Chains A and B, each alone.
Chain A
Amino acid sequence: MVRLITHNLLACHVKGCNSNNFPLEFKDVQIELREAEFNPDFLKGFMPKLEWKALVDAARQLGDTSLPLELPEMLDDDFLKNLHHVLLEIHVEEGTMTCPNCKHEYPILNGIPNMLLAEHEIG
C-alpha cells in the first residue's frame, strides 16, 4: 500500500507549512508490485486531479521510467496501461515520506502511512 495515486494526493499538513509541502519525498522504501484491475475510464477521469510532474518523479525514484515527462495529448492504450501500473500497482510497504519544506517525517508501516501530527504541529 501507499500507491502512487495516494502519494500524489497527500501534502504535508503541519500548521503553517503551506508552501513547497508537496510532493512528500520517499526514503528507505520497500516496494511490492501487485496486480490491479485495469479501468481506463477511471484513469481518464482521475487524470485532471493528478500533479503530473510529482507522479513521474515519484515513479522514477522507485525505478519505473515508463511515463513521459510531459502529459501526452493522445491517451493511447500503451500510455494508459503504463499509467495504470504506476498509479495502482506499485505499493510502498515500508519507509518514510518527508516534507520537502518542514522536514516532518511521515512513517509507513505495513503499508499504512501515519499522517498524524504531534501536538505542537497542529497549533
Chain B
Amino acid sequence: MALKYLIVFAQVHHEFRIPELRSIAELHGFTFSLPPSPEDQDPTRPYMVLDLDEEEHALILARRCILIKSVYEFYGQGSTYEELHASNRKNQARWARYVTDTSFRFIVTAYNHKIPQARQSEVVESFSYMGFLGKIDMKNPEILLGCFEEYTDRSGITRSKHEGDGQFRQVYFGRLLEEGSARALVGKFNVKKRVYYGNTSMESEISLLMANQTLACPGKLIYDPFMGTGSTAYPTMHFGAFMFGSDIDGRQMRGKEKVPGVIRAAKQYGTASRMMDICTFDVTRNPWRCGGLFDAIVTDPPYGVRAGAKRLGRKKELSEAQLALYMEYRNKPRSDDQPYFPPTKPYELSSLAVDLVLLARYLLKPNGRLVFFLPTVTEEYEEVDIHLMLCEGMEVIANSLQDFGSWGRRLVTIRKNTDREYPPPSFDQELQAPSTHIPAHKDFREKYFQGFKKEGEDVPVLE
C-alpha cells in the first residue's frame, strides 16, 4: 500500500519541482503518485502530498532534490482544523508508536502569513487528543511534529500584521522525516566561491537542477558541447558522472593559468578525476568517431546576450583573390606562440536548437537525455516552438520556465526513445525543412536588444 509523505518545497523555481521529482524517482527506479485533484497538483503551492511505496523513497528524494526543503510523514490535512483532526485520527496507526515514550517538539508555521504566538499555542493544544506522553524537548527531540497553514498570496495588499489569521487555504500535519540535504549544495557550488568562472557562468541552483535532469550518477558519461567555464560540469561530476566538455573557444575553458580553469574548479570540488576530457572544437565540425556514446548531453547554449553562439565559417565567403592570399598565409610556417584562430560566423539560435536535438539523437545512448536551456520571448512563446525542434526518436519529457518578465528561459529535457542508430546531422541550415511557424526564440539576440518590442512599436534609442 502506498504511504503518504508531505513535501515542503523551497519557494523558488516552482516549474522545476515536479520534473525534478520525476527524474530522481526514475534514476532510483521507483515511481510516485501526485495527489488526485488538479488543484493539489498545482506546482506553485508550497506543500504537496505524494504517495510513495517505501519510506526509503522519501529519503532518496529529500537527499537528492534541490528544491525540497523537508519531507514529513503525512498525518493529516484539511481546509479547517476539524477536517485536519479528523484526517489525523484516521492515520492514528502511523503515529501511535510515538505516544508512550517519545520526546517531541511541535512547530506551527504558515506560508504567506505569520501566526500570532497565542494562536500557535492554541493549535498545539488542539492536538492534545493524540495523548503524547513523552516529554517536550525543544532542543533535541526524538521527533518533530509540524503543522503548516497555507495562505494564498496577498503580497501588494496593505493589511495589518495578523489580518486574515486562520483563513488559510489548507492546513497540513505530519512528522519530520528528513530535512532536504541537497539544498546545501546550492551554497557549495556558489559561483562566487568558485576558483574559476566567467561572466556567463550559471548560478549554482540552476546548474544543480540541470544535473538532476540528466540523471547523473556514477558510471555515466555526460557531454556539454558548449562548455564555456564549465558550470554544468561541476554538479554533474559531484553526483558521480564522468563529464566530457568541448567549446569552440578554448580560452573559455582554459582561463589564463597553465592548469586550465575548469580543471582547477573541478579540483576545488574534489572531482577533477571525473573530468573525462576537454577539447576545443566547433560542435558543427566535430571529431566524434561514432555515435551512441553519452548517457546525457547537458548544455546552456550561448544565445547571444552576453556571448553569442559562433560556428566556423565566414559571414561572407572569400573572393578567389582573397582565398589565394589566405592560402599563401596558411602555408607559411608559424611560431607556436601565435596560434591560428579560424574565422567564425554567428549561429542563429533556432538553427542551433534544431541542430542540437539532431546531434543529441546521434550521440546519445538509447534512453539518453538532452537537457538544455532555451531562451524565449514570454509573450510570443507557444508550446509548438519546442515541438518544432523535435525529430523522430526524440520526445520532450519536461519543459520548465525560469521567468524573467518579458523574457525567460526554458529548461527543456528531451529523451531519446529509440534503439535506432542515426547518422550525424549535416548542420546545414539550408537543408532544414522550411517551416511556416517562426518560434519565439528565433533571432532572440536581436529581440533582446530591442527590448522585446513588437513591430511598429518605438524602439528606445540608447544614449
Binding site for B on A (CB under 8 A): 1-3, 5-6, 8-13, 22, 34-37, 39, 41-42, 45-46, 49, 51, 110-120, 122
Contact = CB atoms under 8 A, between A and B. Distances in A.
Nearest to B365: A45
A110 B342 contact: no
**Contact size range, B:** 35 or more
A110 B260 contact: yes
Contact of A110 (B258, B275, B289): B258
30 contacts: A1-B275, A6-B244, A9-B290, A10-B287, A10-B288, A36-B273, A37-B273, A39-B218, A49-B290, A49-B292, A110-B258, A111-B277, A111-B278, A112-B254, A112-B278, A113-B277, A113-B279, A114-B250, A114-B279, A114-B281, A115-B246, A115-B286, A116-B282, A117-B282, A119-B312, A119-B313, A119-B343, A120-B326, A120-B327, A122-B285
Contacts of B280: 112-116
Contacts of A36: 273
A6 B340 contact: no
Given A6-B276, A122-B312, A13 B285 contact: yes
Contacts of B250: 112, 114, 116
Nearest to B262: A112
Closest 4 CB pairs of A and B: A115-B281, A6-B277, A42-B219, A11-B289
Contact of B273 (A12, A35, A115): A35
B330 interface: yes
B222 interface: no
Interface in B234-285: 242, 244, 246, 248, 250, 253-254, 258-260, 263, 273-282, 285
Contact of A116 (B312, B313, B326): B312
A115 B293 CA distance: 19
Given A35-B273, A114-B281, 10 more contacts: A2-B277, A12-B287, A112-B253, A115-B281, A116-B280, A116-B285, A117-B282, A117-B285, A118-B330, A118-B342
Contacts of B292: 49
A39 B273 contact: no
Nearest to B259: A110
A8 B221 CA distance: 15
Nearest to B218: A39
Given A42-B219, A114-B250, A3 B330 contact: no
B314 interface: yes
Contacts of A111: 260, 263, 277-278
B287 A13 contact: yes
Interface string B286-307: 1111101100000000000000
A98 B219 CA distance: 30
Contacts of B279: 6, 10, 112-115
A5 B288 CA distance: 12
